[in-house]
Chain A
Amino acid sequence: MTLLRTIDLRKQFGETRACDGINFTVQQGEFLSLVGSNGAGKTSLVNLISAHLTPDSGQILFEDKDITNTTVYQRIRAGIARSFQIVNLFDGLSVHDNVALSVFSRDRKTARVASLADHDADVYRETMEVLAQFGLLDKSTFLAGGLAQGERKLLDVAVAYALRPKLLFLDEPTSGVSTRDKTQIMDTVSSVVRAGHVTAVVIEHDMDVVFRYSDRIVMMHEGRFLADGTPEQIRANKDVANILLGAPLAG
Protein backbone atom coordinates (compact mmCIF):
# COMPACT_ATOMS: atom_id res chain seq x y z
CA MET A 1 0.00 0.00 0.00
CA THR A 2 1.28 3.44 -0.93
CA LEU A 3 1.77 5.62 2.15
CA LEU A 4 3.23 8.72 0.54
CA ARG A 5 3.15 10.02 -3.00
CA THR A 6 4.50 13.22 -4.46
CA ILE A 7 3.34 14.38 -7.87
CA ASP A 8 5.60 16.60 -9.97
CA LEU A 9 7.02 18.28 -6.87
CA ARG A 10 9.15 21.31 -7.61
CA LYS A 11 11.30 23.66 -5.55
CA GLN A 12 13.80 26.14 -6.88
CA PHE A 13 16.33 28.31 -5.02
CA GLY A 14 17.39 31.04 -7.44
CA GLU A 15 18.78 29.19 -10.46
CA THR A 16 19.16 25.91 -8.58
CA ARG A 17 16.44 23.34 -9.01
CA ALA A 18 16.49 21.48 -5.69
CA CYS A 19 13.48 19.35 -6.66
CA ASP A 20 12.72 19.22 -10.34
CA GLY A 21 9.42 17.44 -10.85
CA ILE A 22 9.80 14.68 -8.27
CA ASN A 23 7.36 11.76 -8.37
CA PHE A 24 8.18 9.86 -5.23
CA THR A 25 6.33 6.99 -3.60
CA VAL A 26 6.89 5.31 -0.27
CA GLN A 27 5.22 1.98 0.42
CA GLN A 28 3.99 1.16 3.89
CA GLY A 29 6.45 -0.77 6.01
CA GLU A 30 9.52 -0.31 3.83
CA PHE A 31 12.95 0.89 4.89
CA LEU A 32 13.96 3.17 2.08
CA SER A 33 17.23 4.98 1.53
CA LEU A 34 17.52 8.25 -0.32
CA VAL A 35 21.03 8.66 -1.71
CA GLY A 36 22.88 11.11 -3.85
CA SER A 37 25.79 13.50 -3.80
CA ASN A 38 25.71 16.77 -1.87
CA GLY A 39 23.24 19.18 -3.41
CA ALA A 40 21.27 16.39 -5.09
CA GLY A 41 18.07 17.60 -3.41
CA LYS A 42 17.55 14.86 -0.82
CA THR A 43 17.17 17.12 2.21
CA SER A 44 15.08 19.59 0.19
CA LEU A 45 12.69 16.78 -0.70
CA VAL A 46 12.38 15.77 2.97
CA ASN A 47 11.94 19.42 3.93
CA LEU A 48 9.10 19.73 1.43
CA ILE A 49 7.36 16.57 2.63
CA SER A 50 7.73 17.56 6.30
CA ALA A 51 6.52 21.15 5.62
CA HIS A 52 9.84 22.70 6.55
CA LEU A 53 9.74 24.16 3.03
CA THR A 54 6.83 25.10 0.78
CA PRO A 55 6.87 23.67 -2.74
CA ASP A 56 6.72 25.95 -5.78
CA SER A 57 4.34 23.49 -7.41
CA GLY A 58 3.24 19.88 -7.25
CA GLN A 59 1.29 17.79 -4.81
CA ILE A 60 2.03 15.71 -1.72
CA LEU A 61 -0.40 12.91 -0.90
CA PHE A 62 -0.23 11.06 2.40
CA GLU A 63 -2.54 8.10 2.80
CA ASP A 64 -4.25 9.41 -0.36
CA LYS A 65 -5.02 12.77 1.28
CA ASP A 66 -3.61 15.97 -0.17
CA ILE A 67 -1.36 17.51 2.48
CA THR A 68 0.48 19.95 0.21
CA ASN A 69 -0.84 23.05 1.95
CA THR A 70 -0.87 21.75 5.52
CA THR A 71 1.36 23.00 8.34
CA VAL A 72 4.17 21.23 10.20
CA TYR A 73 1.75 20.65 13.07
CA GLN A 74 -0.87 19.06 10.80
CA ARG A 75 1.69 16.77 9.15
CA ILE A 76 2.94 15.59 12.52
CA ARG A 77 -0.63 14.90 13.56
CA ALA A 78 -1.10 13.02 10.26
CA GLY A 79 1.86 10.79 11.21
CA ILE A 80 4.97 12.25 9.56
CA ALA A 81 8.02 12.77 11.77
CA ARG A 82 11.64 13.54 11.06
CA SER A 83 15.09 13.90 12.51
CA PHE A 84 17.65 16.41 11.31
CA GLN A 85 21.03 16.28 9.59
CA ILE A 86 22.58 18.40 12.33
CA VAL A 87 21.50 16.96 15.67
CA ASN A 88 18.56 18.96 16.97
CA LEU A 89 17.96 18.29 20.64
CA PHE A 90 16.83 20.20 23.70
CA ASP A 91 20.26 20.43 25.30
CA GLY A 92 19.04 22.03 28.52
CA LEU A 93 16.64 19.14 29.20
CA SER A 94 17.42 15.62 30.34
CA VAL A 95 17.54 12.71 27.93
CA HIS A 96 14.32 11.46 29.51
CA ASP A 97 12.56 14.79 29.03
CA ASN A 98 13.65 15.00 25.39
CA VAL A 99 11.81 11.78 24.62
CA ALA A 100 8.96 12.38 27.06
CA LEU A 101 8.08 15.61 25.24
CA SER A 102 7.38 13.61 22.09
CA VAL A 103 5.09 11.28 24.02
CA PHE A 104 3.32 14.22 25.70
CA SER A 105 2.91 15.92 22.33
CA ARG A 106 1.56 12.81 20.59
CA ASP A 107 -0.93 12.28 23.43
CA ARG A 108 -1.86 16.00 23.29
CA LYS A 109 -0.77 16.58 26.85
CA THR A 110 1.80 19.34 26.35
CA ALA A 111 -0.64 22.11 27.25
CA ARG A 112 -1.18 20.69 30.73
CA VAL A 113 -0.10 23.36 33.19
CA ALA A 114 -1.28 22.05 36.54
CA SER A 115 0.20 18.55 36.62
CA LEU A 116 3.79 17.45 37.11
CA ALA A 117 5.40 15.98 34.00
CA ASP A 118 7.20 13.16 35.81
CA HIS A 119 4.02 12.09 37.61
CA ASP A 120 2.38 10.83 34.42
CA ALA A 121 2.95 7.09 34.79
CA ASP A 122 1.93 6.20 31.22
CA VAL A 123 4.24 8.74 29.64
CA TYR A 124 7.04 7.78 32.00
CA ARG A 125 6.69 4.08 31.18
CA GLU A 126 6.62 4.65 27.45
CA THR A 127 9.56 7.05 27.57
CA MET A 128 11.67 4.53 29.46
CA GLU A 129 10.68 1.83 26.96
CA VAL A 130 11.82 3.99 24.04
CA LEU A 131 15.07 4.84 25.82
CA ALA A 132 15.65 1.14 26.48
CA GLN A 133 15.02 0.32 22.81
CA PHE A 134 17.63 2.88 21.78
CA GLY A 135 20.12 1.79 24.46
CA LEU A 136 19.91 5.10 26.31
CA LEU A 137 18.24 3.97 29.51
CA ASP A 138 21.32 4.46 31.67
CA LYS A 139 21.64 8.02 30.33
CA SER A 140 18.05 9.02 31.07
CA THR A 141 18.95 11.57 33.77
CA PHE A 142 21.84 13.10 31.81
CA LEU A 143 21.44 16.45 30.10
CA ALA A 144 21.08 15.91 26.36
CA GLY A 145 23.82 18.48 25.82
CA GLY A 146 26.25 16.27 27.74
CA LEU A 147 25.96 13.16 25.53
CA ALA A 148 28.60 11.87 23.11
CA GLN A 149 27.93 12.41 19.40
CA GLY A 150 26.82 8.82 18.74
CA GLU A 151 24.39 8.94 21.66
CA ARG A 152 23.09 12.31 20.50
CA LYS A 153 22.38 10.84 17.08
CA LEU A 154 20.48 7.96 18.65
CA LEU A 155 18.54 10.31 20.91
CA ASP A 156 17.70 12.48 17.91
CA VAL A 157 16.10 9.47 16.24
CA ALA A 158 14.47 8.34 19.50
CA VAL A 159 12.80 11.74 19.91
CA ALA A 160 11.27 11.47 16.43
CA TYR A 161 10.39 7.79 16.89
CA ALA A 162 8.61 8.45 20.19
CA LEU A 163 5.97 10.36 18.23
CA ARG A 164 5.02 6.89 16.89
CA PRO A 165 4.80 8.20 13.33
CA LYS A 166 3.55 6.26 10.36
CA LEU A 167 6.38 7.68 8.28
CA LEU A 168 9.76 8.59 9.73
CA PHE A 169 12.40 10.57 7.85
CA LEU A 170 15.94 10.25 9.16
CA ASP A 171 18.34 12.80 7.71
CA GLU A 172 21.84 11.33 7.85
CA PRO A 173 21.53 9.52 11.18
CA THR A 174 25.16 8.39 11.06
CA SER A 175 26.91 11.54 9.86
CA GLY A 176 29.78 12.73 12.02
CA VAL A 177 30.23 9.48 13.95
CA SER A 178 32.92 6.83 13.85
CA THR A 179 32.60 3.74 11.63
CA ARG A 180 32.05 1.55 14.68
CA ASP A 181 29.30 3.83 15.99
CA LYS A 182 27.69 3.93 12.53
CA THR A 183 27.03 0.20 12.59
CA GLN A 184 25.73 0.34 16.14
CA ILE A 185 23.42 3.28 15.38
CA MET A 186 22.04 1.71 12.21
CA ASP A 187 21.61 -1.71 13.87
CA THR A 188 19.61 -0.05 16.64
CA VAL A 189 17.60 2.26 14.41
CA SER A 190 16.81 -0.45 11.89
CA SER A 191 15.72 -3.01 14.48
CA VAL A 192 13.58 -0.51 16.45
CA VAL A 193 11.92 0.90 13.35
CA ARG A 194 11.20 -2.53 11.89
CA ALA A 195 9.95 -3.88 15.21
CA GLY A 196 7.63 -0.87 15.53
CA HIS A 197 6.34 -1.37 11.94
CA VAL A 198 7.28 2.21 11.14
CA THR A 199 7.94 3.14 7.53
CA ALA A 200 11.33 4.83 7.33
CA VAL A 201 13.10 6.97 4.76
CA VAL A 202 16.79 7.44 5.48
CA ILE A 203 19.05 9.97 3.82
CA GLU A 204 22.51 8.45 3.86
CA HIS A 205 25.85 8.89 2.15
CA ASP A 206 27.57 5.73 3.33
CA MET A 207 26.73 3.18 0.62
CA ASP A 208 27.78 0.24 2.80
CA VAL A 209 25.14 1.29 5.30
CA VAL A 210 22.61 1.88 2.53
CA PHE A 211 23.10 -1.52 0.89
CA ARG A 212 23.08 -3.33 4.21
CA TYR A 213 19.89 -1.94 5.72
CA SER A 214 17.60 -0.80 2.89
CA ASP A 215 14.68 -2.56 1.26
CA ARG A 216 14.69 -0.01 -1.52
CA ILE A 217 17.09 2.70 -2.63
CA VAL A 218 16.27 5.89 -4.48
CA MET A 219 19.08 7.84 -6.05
CA MET A 220 18.79 11.59 -6.61
CA HIS A 221 20.93 13.76 -8.81
CA GLU A 222 20.53 17.49 -9.49
CA GLY A 223 16.97 17.57 -8.21
CA ARG A 224 15.73 14.52 -10.13
CA PHE A 225 15.43 10.82 -9.52
CA LEU A 226 18.17 8.92 -11.27
CA ALA A 227 17.41 5.40 -10.11
CA ASP A 228 14.95 3.53 -7.96
CA GLY A 229 15.22 -0.12 -7.01
CA THR A 230 16.35 -2.83 -4.66
CA PRO A 231 19.94 -2.78 -3.36
CA GLU A 232 20.87 -5.36 -6.02
CA GLN A 233 19.35 -3.32 -8.82
CA ILE A 234 21.08 -0.15 -7.64
CA ARG A 235 24.37 -1.97 -7.31
CA ALA A 236 24.10 -3.06 -10.91
CA ASN A 237 23.12 0.39 -12.15
CA LYS A 238 26.06 1.94 -14.03
CA ASP A 239 24.70 5.52 -13.83
CA VAL A 240 24.59 5.28 -10.05
CA ALA A 241 28.09 3.89 -9.89
CA ASN A 242 29.45 6.62 -12.12
CA ILE A 243 27.84 9.44 -10.20
CA LEU A 244 28.48 8.15 -6.72
CA LEU A 245 31.98 6.78 -7.10
CA GLY A 246 33.10 7.63 -10.58
CA ALA A 247 33.58 3.85 -10.95
CA PRO A 248 31.49 0.65 -10.79
CA LEU A 249 30.33 -0.32 -7.33
CA ALA A 250 32.00 -3.26 -5.67
CA GLY A 251 29.91 -6.43 -5.62
Chain B
Amino acid sequence: MMSPEAIAPAWRSKLLLLVAALVVLVALALLPHFVGLYQVQLFTYGLIAAIAALGFNLLLGYTGLLSFGHSAFFGIGAYTVAFLVRDADIHAMELYILIGVPIAALLSALLGYICVRHTRIFFGILTLALSQVLWSLALKLFWTTGGTDGLRVPRPPLLGGMLTFTGSGAFSRFINAYYYYVLVIFALCVVLMWVIVHSPFGKALQAIRDNETRAAFLGIRIRRFRWMAFLISGTFTGLAGILWAPLNGLTTPEILYWPFSGEIVFAALLGGFRNFTGPIIGGVVFTYLKSYAVATTEYWQMLLGVVLVLLVMVLPTGIVGGLAALVRLLRGKRKQAA
Protein backbone atom coordinates (compact mmCIF):
# COMPACT_ATOMS: atom_id res chain seq x y z
CA MET B 1 0.00 0.00 0.00
CA MET B 2 0.99 3.62 -0.32
CA SER B 3 3.16 4.93 2.47
CA PRO B 4 1.68 7.65 4.70
CA GLU B 5 4.25 10.11 3.27
CA ALA B 6 3.00 9.38 -0.25
CA ILE B 7 -0.66 9.50 0.70
CA ALA B 8 -0.36 12.94 2.25
CA PRO B 9 0.44 14.91 -0.96
CA ALA B 10 -2.26 13.02 -2.90
CA TRP B 11 -4.90 13.90 -0.33
CA ARG B 12 -3.60 17.46 0.00
CA SER B 13 -3.94 18.05 -3.74
CA LYS B 14 -7.45 16.56 -3.73
CA LEU B 15 -8.43 18.70 -0.77
CA LEU B 16 -7.05 21.79 -2.51
CA LEU B 17 -9.03 20.90 -5.62
CA LEU B 18 -12.20 20.49 -3.58
CA VAL B 19 -11.68 23.80 -1.79
CA ALA B 20 -10.98 25.59 -5.09
CA ALA B 21 -14.13 24.06 -6.63
CA LEU B 22 -16.22 25.14 -3.65
CA VAL B 23 -14.85 28.68 -3.80
CA VAL B 24 -15.70 28.91 -7.51
CA LEU B 25 -19.16 27.47 -6.87
CA VAL B 26 -19.87 29.98 -4.09
CA ALA B 27 -18.61 32.82 -6.31
CA LEU B 28 -20.90 31.65 -9.12
CA ALA B 29 -23.82 31.38 -6.68
CA LEU B 30 -23.26 34.98 -5.62
CA LEU B 31 -22.86 36.30 -9.17
CA PRO B 32 -26.48 37.47 -9.72
CA HIS B 33 -26.17 39.72 -6.64
CA PHE B 34 -23.34 41.69 -8.23
CA VAL B 35 -24.14 41.89 -11.93
CA GLY B 36 -27.09 42.96 -14.04
CA LEU B 37 -29.75 40.75 -15.60
CA TYR B 38 -28.12 40.74 -19.03
CA GLN B 39 -24.86 39.49 -17.55
CA VAL B 40 -26.71 36.75 -15.65
CA GLN B 41 -28.40 35.68 -18.87
CA LEU B 42 -25.13 35.77 -20.78
CA PHE B 43 -23.39 33.77 -18.08
CA THR B 44 -26.15 31.17 -18.22
CA TYR B 45 -25.47 30.81 -21.93
CA GLY B 46 -21.81 30.49 -20.99
CA LEU B 47 -22.49 27.66 -18.53
CA ILE B 48 -24.55 25.84 -21.15
CA ALA B 49 -21.74 26.25 -23.67
CA ALA B 50 -19.35 24.92 -21.01
CA ILE B 51 -21.46 21.75 -20.62
CA ALA B 52 -21.43 21.26 -24.40
CA ALA B 53 -17.66 21.82 -24.60
CA LEU B 54 -17.07 19.55 -21.61
CA GLY B 55 -18.89 16.74 -23.39
CA PHE B 56 -17.15 17.48 -26.68
CA ASN B 57 -13.76 17.36 -25.00
CA LEU B 58 -14.23 13.80 -23.79
CA LEU B 59 -13.77 12.93 -27.45
CA LEU B 60 -11.11 15.45 -28.45
CA GLY B 61 -9.02 15.86 -25.32
CA TYR B 62 -9.34 12.40 -23.82
CA THR B 63 -9.96 10.08 -26.77
CA GLY B 64 -8.16 11.97 -29.53
CA LEU B 65 -11.16 12.19 -31.87
CA LEU B 66 -12.03 15.55 -33.40
CA SER B 67 -15.76 15.78 -34.04
CA PHE B 68 -17.12 18.43 -36.40
CA GLY B 69 -20.67 17.28 -35.83
CA HIS B 70 -21.55 18.04 -32.23
CA SER B 71 -24.15 20.54 -33.38
CA ALA B 72 -26.26 17.44 -34.13
CA PHE B 73 -26.50 16.51 -30.43
CA PHE B 74 -26.99 20.07 -29.27
CA GLY B 75 -29.66 20.52 -31.92
CA ILE B 76 -31.45 17.26 -31.15
CA GLY B 77 -31.62 18.29 -27.49
CA ALA B 78 -33.08 21.70 -28.36
CA TYR B 79 -35.52 20.35 -30.98
CA THR B 80 -36.71 17.63 -28.59
CA VAL B 81 -37.76 20.37 -26.17
CA ALA B 82 -39.48 22.31 -28.97
CA PHE B 83 -41.37 19.20 -30.17
CA LEU B 84 -42.41 18.31 -26.61
CA VAL B 85 -43.86 21.80 -26.21
CA ARG B 86 -45.66 21.89 -29.54
CA ASP B 87 -46.72 18.29 -30.07
CA ALA B 88 -47.10 16.89 -26.55
CA ASP B 89 -48.05 20.13 -24.80
CA ILE B 90 -45.47 19.41 -22.13
CA HIS B 91 -44.39 22.41 -20.08
CA ALA B 92 -41.99 21.13 -17.44
CA MET B 93 -38.22 21.51 -17.53
CA GLU B 94 -37.62 18.23 -15.69
CA LEU B 95 -39.64 16.32 -18.28
CA TYR B 96 -37.63 17.97 -21.07
CA ILE B 97 -34.48 16.63 -19.44
CA LEU B 98 -35.91 13.20 -18.63
CA ILE B 99 -37.13 12.69 -22.19
CA GLY B 100 -34.47 14.70 -24.03
CA VAL B 101 -31.38 13.09 -22.50
CA PRO B 102 -32.26 9.51 -23.56
CA ILE B 103 -33.11 10.78 -27.06
CA ALA B 104 -29.74 12.56 -27.29
CA ALA B 105 -28.07 9.38 -25.98
CA LEU B 106 -29.87 7.27 -28.57
CA LEU B 107 -28.80 9.56 -31.41
CA SER B 108 -25.23 9.58 -30.07
CA ALA B 109 -25.25 5.79 -29.91
CA LEU B 110 -26.47 5.52 -33.50
CA LEU B 111 -24.13 8.12 -34.99
CA GLY B 112 -21.28 6.83 -32.82
CA TYR B 113 -21.78 3.30 -34.13
CA ILE B 114 -21.12 4.62 -37.64
CA CYS B 115 -18.44 7.20 -36.86
CA VAL B 116 -16.05 5.33 -34.55
CA ARG B 117 -15.26 2.85 -37.29
CA HIS B 118 -12.95 5.57 -38.58
CA THR B 119 -10.41 7.91 -37.04
CA ARG B 120 -8.59 11.16 -37.83
CA ILE B 121 -9.90 13.16 -40.81
CA PHE B 122 -12.37 10.43 -41.80
CA PHE B 123 -13.99 10.55 -38.37
CA GLY B 124 -14.21 14.35 -38.53
CA ILE B 125 -15.73 14.34 -42.01
CA LEU B 126 -18.21 11.62 -41.08
CA THR B 127 -19.45 13.52 -38.02
CA LEU B 128 -19.69 16.67 -40.11
CA ALA B 129 -21.65 14.89 -42.86
CA LEU B 130 -24.13 13.26 -40.47
CA SER B 131 -24.80 16.52 -38.65
CA GLN B 132 -25.37 18.19 -42.02
CA VAL B 133 -28.00 15.56 -42.80
CA LEU B 134 -29.88 16.55 -39.65
CA TRP B 135 -29.49 20.23 -40.49
CA SER B 136 -30.91 19.74 -43.99
CA LEU B 137 -33.84 17.76 -42.54
CA ALA B 138 -34.56 20.56 -40.07
CA LEU B 139 -34.40 23.06 -42.92
CA LYS B 140 -36.45 21.18 -45.51
CA LEU B 141 -39.11 19.54 -43.34
CA PHE B 142 -40.47 22.97 -42.49
CA TRP B 143 -44.03 21.74 -41.84
CA THR B 144 -42.59 19.80 -38.90
CA THR B 145 -39.58 21.83 -37.85
CA GLY B 146 -40.76 25.30 -38.76
CA GLY B 147 -37.90 25.64 -41.28
CA THR B 148 -35.82 28.76 -40.91
CA ASP B 149 -38.51 30.31 -38.69
CA GLY B 150 -37.81 27.60 -36.14
CA LEU B 151 -40.00 26.59 -33.23
CA ARG B 152 -40.87 28.69 -30.21
CA VAL B 153 -40.04 27.41 -26.73
CA PRO B 154 -41.86 29.28 -23.96
CA ARG B 155 -40.42 29.63 -20.46
CA PRO B 156 -41.17 26.36 -18.66
CA PRO B 157 -42.02 25.98 -14.97
CA LEU B 158 -39.09 24.69 -12.93
CA LEU B 159 -38.83 22.14 -10.11
CA GLY B 160 -42.01 20.28 -10.92
CA GLY B 161 -44.07 23.45 -11.22
CA MET B 162 -42.91 25.01 -7.95
CA LEU B 163 -41.49 27.94 -9.91
CA THR B 164 -43.68 29.42 -12.63
CA PHE B 165 -43.01 32.53 -14.67
CA THR B 166 -46.05 34.57 -15.68
CA GLY B 167 -47.18 38.09 -15.00
CA SER B 168 -45.05 41.18 -14.53
CA GLY B 169 -41.34 40.68 -13.97
CA ALA B 170 -41.61 37.14 -15.26
CA PHE B 171 -38.58 37.48 -17.54
CA SER B 172 -36.20 38.67 -14.82
CA ARG B 173 -37.49 36.07 -12.36
CA PHE B 174 -37.02 33.36 -14.97
CA ILE B 175 -33.48 34.47 -15.83
CA ASN B 176 -32.42 34.52 -12.18
CA ALA B 177 -34.08 31.20 -11.33
CA TYR B 178 -32.88 29.57 -14.54
CA TYR B 179 -29.32 30.68 -13.82
CA TYR B 180 -29.33 28.68 -10.58
CA TYR B 181 -31.07 25.78 -12.28
CA VAL B 182 -28.38 25.62 -14.95
CA LEU B 183 -25.64 26.20 -12.38
CA VAL B 184 -26.70 23.12 -10.38
CA ILE B 185 -26.83 20.97 -13.52
CA PHE B 186 -23.51 22.40 -14.65
CA ALA B 187 -21.92 21.50 -11.28
CA LEU B 188 -23.34 17.97 -11.50
CA CYS B 189 -22.00 17.63 -15.06
CA VAL B 190 -18.55 18.80 -13.98
CA VAL B 191 -18.44 16.30 -11.10
CA LEU B 192 -19.74 13.50 -13.32
CA MET B 193 -17.24 14.23 -16.08
CA TRP B 194 -14.42 14.52 -13.54
CA VAL B 195 -15.26 11.05 -12.23
CA ILE B 196 -15.49 9.68 -15.78
CA VAL B 197 -12.08 10.96 -16.88
CA HIS B 198 -10.47 9.75 -13.66
CA SER B 199 -12.13 6.33 -13.82
CA PRO B 200 -10.48 3.24 -15.32
CA PHE B 201 -12.60 3.95 -18.41
CA GLY B 202 -11.23 7.50 -18.62
CA LYS B 203 -7.67 6.22 -18.29
CA ALA B 204 -8.35 3.68 -21.03
CA LEU B 205 -9.59 6.49 -23.30
CA GLN B 206 -6.39 8.43 -22.69
CA ALA B 207 -4.40 5.29 -23.46
CA ILE B 208 -6.27 4.94 -26.77
CA ARG B 209 -5.55 8.60 -27.49
CA ASP B 210 -1.82 8.20 -26.81
CA ASN B 211 -1.20 4.83 -28.41
CA GLU B 212 -4.02 2.90 -30.02
CA THR B 213 -1.91 -0.13 -30.92
CA ARG B 214 -0.54 -0.61 -27.43
CA ALA B 215 -3.97 -0.07 -25.90
CA ALA B 216 -5.29 -2.89 -28.09
CA PHE B 217 -2.45 -5.10 -26.85
CA LEU B 218 -3.55 -4.48 -23.29
CA GLY B 219 -6.92 -5.97 -24.12
CA ILE B 220 -8.74 -2.66 -24.40
CA ARG B 221 -11.49 -2.91 -27.00
CA ILE B 222 -10.74 0.23 -28.95
CA ARG B 223 -13.89 0.60 -31.02
CA ARG B 224 -16.20 -0.21 -28.12
CA PHE B 225 -14.49 2.33 -25.85
CA ARG B 226 -14.56 5.00 -28.56
CA TRP B 227 -18.25 4.32 -29.03
CA MET B 228 -18.88 4.67 -25.28
CA ALA B 229 -16.94 7.96 -25.26
CA PHE B 230 -18.98 9.15 -28.25
CA LEU B 231 -22.20 8.22 -26.48
CA ILE B 232 -21.30 10.08 -23.29
CA SER B 233 -19.94 13.04 -25.22
CA GLY B 234 -23.06 13.39 -27.37
CA THR B 235 -25.35 13.02 -24.37
CA PHE B 236 -23.62 15.85 -22.49
CA THR B 237 -23.86 18.09 -25.54
CA GLY B 238 -27.50 17.07 -26.01
CA LEU B 239 -28.22 18.07 -22.41
CA ALA B 240 -26.67 21.46 -23.17
CA GLY B 241 -29.10 21.81 -26.08
CA ILE B 242 -32.03 20.94 -23.84
CA LEU B 243 -31.01 23.64 -21.37
CA TRP B 244 -30.38 26.16 -24.13
CA ALA B 245 -33.82 25.94 -25.79
CA PRO B 246 -35.95 27.54 -23.01
CA LEU B 247 -33.32 30.22 -22.39
CA ASN B 248 -33.18 31.16 -26.05
CA GLY B 249 -36.94 30.84 -26.52
CA LEU B 250 -36.54 29.74 -30.12
CA THR B 251 -34.98 26.75 -31.84
CA THR B 252 -33.78 27.18 -35.43
CA PRO B 253 -31.79 24.98 -37.84
CA GLU B 254 -28.81 27.26 -37.24
CA ILE B 255 -27.83 25.19 -34.19
CA LEU B 256 -27.64 22.07 -36.34
CA TYR B 257 -25.46 23.75 -38.96
CA TRP B 258 -21.72 23.03 -39.16
CA PRO B 259 -20.54 26.50 -37.99
CA PHE B 260 -22.21 25.73 -34.66
CA SER B 261 -20.10 22.57 -34.40
CA GLY B 262 -17.15 24.82 -35.17
CA GLU B 263 -18.10 27.05 -32.25
CA ILE B 264 -17.96 24.07 -29.87
CA VAL B 265 -14.52 23.18 -31.24
CA PHE B 266 -13.49 26.84 -30.89
CA ALA B 267 -14.63 26.91 -27.25
CA ALA B 268 -12.60 23.80 -26.39
CA LEU B 269 -9.51 25.16 -28.17
CA LEU B 270 -9.92 28.56 -26.53
CA GLY B 271 -9.89 27.12 -23.03
CA GLY B 272 -7.46 24.34 -23.82
CA PHE B 273 -8.48 20.80 -24.71
CA ARG B 274 -5.56 19.13 -22.97
CA ASN B 275 -6.86 19.80 -19.47
CA PHE B 276 -10.09 19.24 -17.65
CA THR B 277 -11.05 22.85 -16.92
CA GLY B 278 -10.06 24.18 -20.36
CA PRO B 279 -13.37 23.53 -22.15
CA ILE B 280 -15.33 24.94 -19.19
CA ILE B 281 -13.39 28.21 -19.28
CA GLY B 282 -13.47 28.11 -23.08
CA GLY B 283 -17.26 27.71 -23.17
CA VAL B 284 -17.83 30.74 -20.93
CA VAL B 285 -15.16 32.92 -22.55
CA PHE B 286 -16.32 32.04 -26.06
CA THR B 287 -19.89 33.04 -25.19
CA TYR B 288 -18.69 36.47 -24.04
CA LEU B 289 -16.27 36.81 -26.94
CA LYS B 290 -18.94 36.09 -29.52
CA SER B 291 -21.50 38.25 -27.79
CA TYR B 292 -19.21 41.27 -27.62
CA ALA B 293 -17.84 40.67 -31.11
CA VAL B 294 -21.39 40.67 -32.50
CA ALA B 295 -22.17 43.86 -30.56
CA THR B 296 -18.96 45.57 -31.67
CA THR B 297 -18.75 44.94 -35.40
CA GLU B 298 -20.76 43.54 -38.26
CA TYR B 299 -17.57 41.69 -39.25
CA TRP B 300 -17.69 39.68 -36.06
CA GLN B 301 -16.93 36.38 -37.81
CA MET B 302 -13.68 37.91 -39.04
CA LEU B 303 -12.85 39.02 -35.52
CA LEU B 304 -13.45 35.52 -34.19
CA GLY B 305 -11.37 34.12 -37.06
CA VAL B 306 -8.45 36.37 -36.11
CA VAL B 307 -8.76 35.27 -32.48
CA LEU B 308 -8.72 31.62 -33.58
CA VAL B 309 -5.62 32.10 -35.74
CA LEU B 310 -3.84 33.93 -32.91
CA LEU B 311 -4.90 31.24 -30.48
CA VAL B 312 -3.48 28.41 -32.56
CA MET B 313 -0.25 30.30 -33.25
CA VAL B 314 0.42 31.95 -29.89
CA LEU B 315 -1.50 29.91 -27.33
CA PRO B 316 -1.99 26.39 -28.71
CA THR B 317 -2.65 25.02 -25.22
CA GLY B 318 -5.49 27.50 -24.72
CA ILE B 319 -6.17 29.87 -21.84
CA VAL B 320 -5.82 27.26 -19.09
CA GLY B 321 -2.76 25.66 -20.69
CA GLY B 322 -1.17 29.10 -21.07
CA LEU B 323 -1.90 30.01 -17.46
CA ALA B 324 -0.49 26.69 -16.26
CA ALA B 325 2.69 27.31 -18.26
CA LEU B 326 2.94 30.79 -16.74
CA VAL B 327 2.56 29.41 -13.21
CA ARG B 328 5.26 26.81 -13.90
CA LEU B 329 7.55 29.54 -15.23
CA LEU B 330 7.02 31.75 -12.17
CA ARG B 331 7.56 28.80 -9.81
CA GLY B 332 10.77 27.93 -11.63
CA LYS B 333 12.02 31.49 -11.33
CA ARG B 334 11.13 31.58 -7.63
CA LYS B 335 13.03 28.33 -7.06
CA GLN B 336 16.02 29.71 -8.94
CA ALA B 337 15.95 32.88 -6.83
CA ALA B 338 15.79 30.80 -3.63
Which chain A residues have a beta carbon within 8 Å of chain B's beta carbons?
A: 50, 52, 72-73, 76-77, 81-82, 84, 88-93, 97, 100-102, 104-106, 109-118, 120-121, 124-125, 128, 159-160, 163
Contacts and interface: CB of A to CB of B under 8 A. Distances in A.
B301 interface: no
Given A50-B217, A73-B216, A105-B220, A92 B206 contact: yes
A90 B2 contact: no
A89 B218 contact: no
Interface string B197-232: 011111110110111011111111100010010001
Closest 6 pairs (CB-CB, A-B): A88-B214, A76-B219, A90-B210, A105-B219, A104-B200, A110-B204
Contacts of B214: 84, 88-90, 159
A18 B90 CA distance: 67
Contacts of B225: 110-111
The residue among B202, B209, B211, B218 with the most chain A CB atoms within 10 A of its own CB is B218
A84 to B, nearest CB: 7
B198 A118 contact: yes
Contact of B203 (A91, A93, A125): A93
A91 B274 CA distance: 13
Given A90-B214, A112-B200, A120-B200, A73 B207 contact: no
Contacts of A159: 214, 218
B219 A92 contact: no
A82 B217 contact: yes
Given A124-B1, A125-B1, A115 B219 contact: no
B200 A89 contact: no
A125 B1 CA distance: 5
B9 to A, nearest CB: 9
Contact of B195 (A52, A89, A105, A114): A114
A105 B208 CA distance: 13
10 contacts: A72-B216, A77-B219, A89-B214, A90-B211, A97-B206, A105-B204, A110-B225, A116-B198, A117-B198, A118-B198
B203 A101 contact: yes
A112 B199 contact: yes
A84 B213 CA distance: 10
Interface string B224-257: 0100100010000000000000000000000000
Interface in B267-298: none
A65 to B, nearest CB: 18
B204 A104 contact: yes
